Amino acid sequence: MNVTIENLSKDYKGGHRALDGIDLTVGTGMIGLLGANGAGKTTLMRILAGVLRPTSGRITIGGHDLATSAGRTAVKRMLGYLPQELPLYTGLTGREFLDYIALLKGIDDKGARRRQIDLLLDRVGLSDQANRRIGGYSGGMKRRIGIAQTLLGDPRLIIVDEPTSGLDPEERMRFRTLLASLGGDRTVLLSTHILADVAQSCPQVAVLNTGRLVYFGSTTGLTDAAEDRTYLVHSDGPAPEGCTVVNATTTATGTEYRIVGDPPPAGARRVEPTLEDGYVALLQTHRETQETHR
């Protein structure tokens, strides 16, 4: 499923520009969407899901133009969207909730609904909880029933907005594995702040910075942006100047800083970069470029 975005911009009321001239084409597979708070990820996802209109630009999904009502209807049929805050009917059981959403999605045949719901409950590991009210589910179970409703109707394009925030590590891993198993011939767009989720399940990644697309390509390519620029340095005082601190660990004799920068400070030891290092290095470069253009 090809998603093509051309020169897309979004201005909210009051004139705030949340997206600024995005050009992006993605194909099948899992694509991570990264960016700081307020970078425009949710805005982009809501526009792709058809719940928000862009100010300008053109989007086609599987050849259907989102600017036309026929295009929006066609896209709705092939789309599964899990927003950041999915309204759940806590008084319904998991099964009743899925049945209700399946009806809304136009799956009219009762037997077909039941078969799909059984399969999905099994896939998200909630078969034995299906007849419990959602109000009694844990946070992780609520996310899983959320992804199950997203998958009703076997969508070709799946958009999930920060699905793992607030989940414990085991539940996060389970959710990530579930999402990764959806890839294949579908397009899965995953917005998250958790870089490890992207590193482990998304071969491609897009990065937004203040409404602009600053990277789209392989996830390993973004990691490599910090190659030969990532160091560990020990100090009993503040971090060395002129570099970006990715994290700091307290030791018995001071602090060990993980830094990205050039040239390395005295005594620094070069290490292999992670996606987090590449991401930090990329944003640092863009912020510096923005500063010099001010």
Ligand X SMILES: Nc1ncnc2c1ncn2[C@@H]1O[C@H](COP(=O)(O)OP(=O)(O)OP(=O)(O)O)[C@@H](O)[C@H]1O
Please give the residue ranges that form the binding site for ligand X (CB under 6 A).
12, 16, 18, 35, 37-43
Q: Which helix (H) or strand (E) holds 75?
A: helix 69-77
How far apart are CB 224 and ligand X at their closest, in Å?
24
Q: Measured from the CB atom, is 211 or 264 closer to ligand X?
A: 211
How far apart are CB 233 and ligand X at their closest, in Å?
30
Check if the beta carbon of residue 133 is closer than 8 Å to that of residue 92. Answer: yes
Check if the beta carbon of residue 51 is closer than 8 Å to that of residue 86. Answer: no
Beta strands in the chain (DSSP E): 3-11, 17-26, 29-34, 56-61, 64-65, 79-82, 157-161, 187-191, 204-209, 212-218, 230-235, 244-251, 254-260, 269-270
Q: Measured from the CB atom, is 35 or 94 closer to ligand X?
A: 35
Query: If you ran DSSP here, which 8-state letter would residue 93 be given?
Result: B
Q: Measured from the CB atom, is 211 or 261 closer to ligand X?
A: 211
Length of the chain: 294
Q: Measured from the CB atom, is 14 or 111 closer to ligand X?
A: 14
How far apart are CB 178 and ligand X at their closest, in Å?
22
Residue type, 18: A
Distance between CA atoms of 187 and 30, rounded to whole angstroms? 6
Q: Measured from the CB atom, is 42 or 129 closer to ligand X?
A: 42
How far apart are CB 210 and ligand X at their closest, in Å?
8
Q: Measured from the CB atom, is 51 or 112 closer to ligand X?
A: 51
How far apart are CB 49 and ligand X at their closest, in Å?
13
Distance between CA atoms of 198 and 287, rounded to whole angstroms? 22
Q: Measured from the CB atom, is 162 or 277 closer to ligand X?
A: 162
How far apart are CB 11 and ligand X at their closest, in Å?
9
Q: Measured from the CB atom, is 124 or 160 closer to ligand X?
A: 160
Using CB atoms within 10 Å of the CB of residue 16, give its burial: 0 to 12 exposed, 13 to 18 middle, 19+ buried.
Answer: exposed
How far apart are CB 13 and ligand X at their closest, in Å?
6
**CA dihedral of residues 223, 205, 186, 50 (deg, nearest 10):** 170
Residue in this structure with the two tokens 């870089």, named with its chain if needed: 195
How far apart are CB 161 and ligand X at their closest, in Å?
7
Q: Which of 150, 238, 229, 133 is nearest to 186 (CA)?
A: 150
Q: Which of 212, 181, 179, 207 is nearest to 193 (CA)?
A: 207
Distance between CA atoms of 93 and 91, rounded to whole angstroms? 7
